[in-house]
Amino acid sequence: MAAGILPKPGSQYGPCKVKCKHIDCAETRARAQSTCLYCRKPVGYGVRVYQHGEYTVHALCHELAADTNSTLF
């Protein structure tokens, strides 16, 4: 599984700066606003993340959990 980064609004490949009706923009915003299953904080933009099915988690949180053998997936 490779980590990715959710690009910030207005950046290249990122969602539009203003709310729009683009499906890709809505999906990116929803992923960024979702809650990391490990730390319970918003995922946000510009940080490494893992996508597992419908869940998006901080890569660092997942990697730390994997080091302690307590992954959620």
Q: Is pLDDT above 70 for 71?
A: no
Q: Which helix (H) or strand (E) holds 31?
A: helix 23-33
pLDDT-derived band at 1, boundaries 50, 70, 90: confident
pLDDT-derived band at 14, boundaries 50, 70, 90: very high
Residue 32 located in a structural domain: yes
pLDDT digits (tens, 9 = 90+) for 17-42: 998 999 999 999 999 999 999 999 99
Which residues form the domain of 62? Answer: 4-67
Residue 73 located in a structural domain: no
Q: Domain count for the chain, please give it.
A: 1
Residue 21 located in a structural domain: yes
The beta strands (E) that lie in 1-73 are given as: 4-5, 48-52, 55-58
Residue 46 located in a structural domain: yes
Helices (H) and strands (E) in the chain, counts: 2, 3
Residue 72 located in a structural domain: no
Query: pTM of the full predicted structure?
Result: 0.83
